[in-house]
Amino acid sequence: MKLKYTTNKYLLLLAFSMSFLCGHSQEKGLTPAALDVLKQTQLWLTTDNASGIAFDAPNSYSDISIGYSKKHGTYHRPQNGDDASQVKVYTEGLTKVGKTYLWGDFSYSHTNVSDARFNASLCDPYRGQPFYVTDEHTSDWLDKSYHLAFKAATRPLGCVAFGLEGTYDVTLAAKQRDPRVDARYLKLGLKPAVSISLGTNDIVGANMEYASVKEESSMSREIYYVDHNYYEMYGLGNSVKGLGGERSTNYFGNVWGTGLQYGHHTASWNVISQIAWNRHVENVEIGYSTPEKEGLTDINTYKASVTVQHGCDKYLHEAGVDLSWRYNKVTQYFSQRDNSLDNAGWNVIFKNVRAKYRSANASLRYSLSRLEGDEYTWRVDADVTYRMTDDEFLLPHTTMDSENLYANLSFKNNFILRGSMQRRVLASVNVGLRQSMSGGYSYGGSQPDLFTVSTVMPMEAAFLTQDAWKAGTEITYSQLVKSGSTTHAWVKGSFDYYHGDSSMFNHLSNFSLTLGANF
């Protein structure tokens, strides 16, 4: 069953229109720094609870941008490419229509990736799906991604508000070298929510989550007389070697989850906290007409976060803690073919949980903004993040783990230029450090020379266990498009440089240029 892309195109068109038209102008317009402050203070917008937007009583805004970026270098996870150039269109808006608050965003990106390795099936090999196909050659990929999200909230009906969030993500990815891959990913999500005001300062909320996830991957050959080795991965380098280049893989699953929120706000304090859980179960089958069950992933994700803001005349402080824990229990099926005419197909003989993947993130963040009117004149951001992965393949016993500490510091200065037209130069510098604390890959099976064991996983482990630093800068020039207008046009250039401590993953430079407008 192929995805219905014609329908999808119309949905995307609708989404684009909605996000573009949804905001309307501020009286004085929004500089880029003012838009930063506006988004930063709408805390319910950062949660999974759309209904809470009603209690933020947000101001309307819209922005639209188109950008080009180019990456080059070796500091990246092995399955990403050494070069990538991307064109991206993005638009976001928030407004109030009648009694309903509406927020939406839409993005489209087209990415040309060069020299990506070890992936011959998935749009995103790092999305947590251990059943995929890899091959031995580097290849270019062409990726197209569409993203749409909307949030709608009723105005408070007494002390209660209702809301709904919808997301729609599509990625089409095509590998450009045999064995070629046509991969199509689709995620459609809904989060109905409710929030209740407990007096004037406190709000509690709850939401449900449902998403349908599907990815279809077809591997084929353009040059039919050349047969390639490929590897059907089922976890931490354990794989079955194939020869040829034809395979169709069908991934389909569902996500169910829930979340609870609590918000507290006074004239100077604003607090939002959230705990959330979801369970994502995804089936993997080979072929369509008589599918063979290959595996099943069962991912439980737990998240908790608290953000506290304190504002006074001149300064806005924000501190936050984000925690997440993810546990992926992977089942593998063992099937045999029934070749009889009446029951032709694959019979599952048995299944086992064969691997467990755990990861955790914990981060602390702080920002301080010096306010001037509705924007800031300078802003400092700092964060520290701890990331851990602990992956285990049960039999033959194989492990891969890592612990990393990340620290980032950035400073932004908003230069207010003389004259009319609200001209601004927003300049920032940022530095970051990554410290590997521990980690490694240990294979306990009987095929240490297998390509996926000897090459793919050691490279992945090498990246996860190295130190690195980064430095970057970003400059945005903005002004009103004409006198009396409330639309700010802007142009932004940025450059980031990453340096890894190993020769294999040594450096990466990332340049981008973006044109946009805020309404």
Residues of this chain that interact with another protein (CB under 8 A) are 210, 212, 225-227, 229, 232, 238, 240-244, 253-254, 256, 279, 281-283, 290, 296, 298, 329, 331-332, 334, 336-337, 339-341, 344, 349-354, 394-396, 445-447, 450
Which H helix or E strand runs over 375? strand 375-393
Q: Closest separation between CB of residue 356 and another protein, Å?
A: 9
Q: Closest separation between CB of residue 349 and another protein, Å?
A: 4
| Pairwise CA distance, residues 279 & 491, whole Å | 41
| Pairwise CA distance, residues 243 & 135, whole Å | 10
- The string of DSSP letters for 445-503 reads SS-TTSHIIIIIHHHHHHHHT--EEEEEEEEEEEEESSTT--PEEEEEEEEEEEEESSS
Give the pairing of strands 202-220 and 100-116: unpaired
Q: Closest separation between CB of residue 185 and another protein, Å?
A: 17
Complex with another protein: residue 29 or 295, whichever CB lies closer: 295
Q: What are phi and psi of 342, to 5 degrees?
A: -75, -30
| Pairwise CA distance, residues 515 & 219, whole Å | 38
Q: Closest separation between CB of residue 175 and another protein, Å?
A: 20
Q: Closest separation between CB of residue 289 and another protein, Å?
A: 10
| Pairwise CA distance, residues 258 & 102, whole Å | 22
Q: Closest separation between CB of residue 225 and another protein, Å?
A: 5
| Pairwise CA distance, residues 54 & 103, whole Å | 11
Neighbours of 116 (CB within 10 A): 24
Complex with another protein: residue 380 or 395, whichever CB lies closer: 395
CA 375 from centroid of its chain's CA atoms: 28
| Pairwise CA distance, residues 167 & 105, whole Å | 9
Complex with another protein: residue 224 or 415, whichever CB lies closer: 224
Complex with another protein: residue 350 or 418, whichever CB lies closer: 350
Q: Closest separation between CB of residue 481 and another protein, Å?
A: 46
| Pairwise CA distance, residues 310 & 317, whole Å | 5
- The string of DSSP letters for 391-411 reads EEETTTTEEEEEEEEEEEEEE
Q: Closest separation between CB of residue 290 and another protein, Å?
A: 8
Q: Closest separation between CB of residue 284 and another protein, Å?
A: 10
Complex with another protein: residue 312 or 344, whichever CB lies closer: 344
Q: Closest separation between CB of residue 295 and another protein, Å?
A: 10
Complex with another protein: residue 392 or 467, whichever CB lies closer: 392
| Pairwise CA distance, residues 436 & 332, whole Å | 32
Q: What are phi and psi of 374, to 5 degrees?
A: -95, 10
Complex with another protein: residue 185 or 393, whichever CB lies closer: 393
489: nearest Cα among 476, 500, 480: 480
Complex with another protein: residue 244 or 432, whichever CB lies closer: 244
162: nearest Cα among 154, 151, 150: 154
Q: Closest separation between CB of residue 341 and another protein, Å?
A: 4
| Pairwise CA distance, residues 97 & 152, whole Å | 10
Complex with another protein: residue 109 or 454, whichever CB lies closer: 454
Complex with another protein: residue 123 or 299, whichever CB lies closer: 299
CB 409 within 8 Å of CB 433: no
Complex with another protein: residue 446 or 483, whichever CB lies closer: 446
Name beta bridge partners: 184.
172, 216
